[in-house]
Homo-oligomer: A and B are copies of this chain.
Amino acid sequence: MPDARAKKTLKKLGELAQGVVKTVLKGVDPSLEIPSRSLSNVSFDEKKSIIELGDQKQQRQLFNVGHARKFMQTFLIASACKDLIEAEKTTSIRDLYYITKHTMGDSKQNTFEEQDESDPIIEDLEVTIDTLREELNLFASNKGSMVGPITIVDAGDTIDLRHLGSGGWSVPSIVEDHTIQFRKHEAKFVLLVEKDAVWRRLNEDKFWVKNKCILLHGQGMAPRGVRRLIYRFNRELKLPVYVLVDNDPWGFYIYSVVKQGSINLAYESVRMAVPEARFIGLSSLDAEEYQLPANVTIKLDDQDERRAKQMLAYPWFNKRTWQREIRTMLRNGVKLELEALSAKGISFISEEYLPRKLRDKQWLA
């Protein structure tokens, strides 16, 4: 039996189809209105502090040679998602491509040639009916692990994240509340770490026990499941979120995506971005502050410099503190990896660096 959320999504999919049927019955050419995902329709909302989509829409018409193929594809994807939800199964976007790919009639025309044709249609569908792909029962890659003082329920299993050893719980891609529910917890905050090696260090040192935090990593850029979970921890459990990344433009970017979303997926910010997220390090000022040896710094390459300069101009980095942060990186001409802290001792990060940062409130918001 589909649950309440599934019913809501099914209703939206049904209305999309019925809308088209109605126009046809009225003798009007069928068409869809799809919110535009182009750059010109993306902006940073200063008040909400997220990157979001504007109101521009585009028409997709069946009786237009330039639109017909995409029109057909949109309903093919919508129909497959409806089947998925009704069957209570989930699948990957790669799988959905194979499920919906077929050769039409006696022609040599395929419904989709490559996955790069079906992926944007999924995004179209998400924005058109205002639904996350996870609600369409589609998942992205499984990445990231989690431990912490919290019990969750996942697909009917009660999991105590306090006792998952050195490995931790694999964060699935779909973490919506119909799949994952939160139970008893003693967490005071959430710490997202860019690198799994650093996560392992913090887990081994029981940093999360001593500091009562939920500890996650995203193996680089935080995947959708991790972002959505952090969002839920922040909203539902009112937990502050700290992000710990390398001191380089890529680390800053990872943080900024967690905090206000990305330009590419601007339509999702409203349910993925955590504007309250705090950047706890590595800061460009840390090498001096924590007296790290000069030989652990790495020279910025041309791409780093270009990226850092671009970031100076982004409205979401247009704060005194962030301008100082990025300018310091450019002036010093170097970047730092999280592992560089190990030059001060293997557990320096868990026993000195992070506790001091938290105690002295040395983060950027």
Contacts and interface: CB of A to CB of B under 8 A. Distances in A.
Interface string A137-172: 001011001000000111111110001111111111
Given A98-B340, A293-B102, A167 B158 contact: no
A98 B101 CA distance: 49
B165 A155 contact: yes
A196 interface: yes
A163 B158 contact: yes
A91 B201 contact: yes
Contacts of A167: 142, 154, 169-172
Interface stretch (A125-133, A183-191, A264-272, A341-349): A341-349
A87 B351 CA distance: 14
B101 A343 contact: yes
A99 B155 CA distance: 42
B197 A94 contact: yes
A89 B170 contact: no
Given A157-B164, A165-B154, A197 B342 contact: no
A204 interface: yes
Nearest to A141: B196
A197 B166 contact: no
Nearest to A163: B157
Interface in A303-340: 337, 339-340
A171 B97 CA distance: 29
Residue among A98, A99, A145, A337 facing the most chain B CB atoms (10 A cut-off): A98
A164 B343 CA distance: 37
Contacts of A294: 103
Nearest to A114: B298
B200 A346 contact: no
A31 interface: no
A70 to B, nearest CB: 19
Nearest to A115: B339
A234 interface: no
A229 B179 CA distance: 29
A226 to B, nearest CB: 11
B95 A339 contact: yes
A174 interface: yes
A40 interface: no
B164 A169 contact: yes
Contact of A166 (B87, B179, B196, B199): B179
A348 to B, nearest CB: 10
Contacts of A41: none
Contacts of A201: 91, 95
Contacts of A164: 154, 157, 159, 169-170
A38 interface: no
Contacts of A166: 154-155, 172, 174, 179
Interface string A85-128: 00101111011011101110000001000000000000000000
A97 B342 CA distance: 9
B171 A165 contact: no
Contact of A197 (B91, B155, B157): B91
Contacts of A110: 295
A215 to B, nearest CB: 12
A296 interface: yes
A364 interface: no
B89 A339 contact: no
A293 B104 CA distance: 12
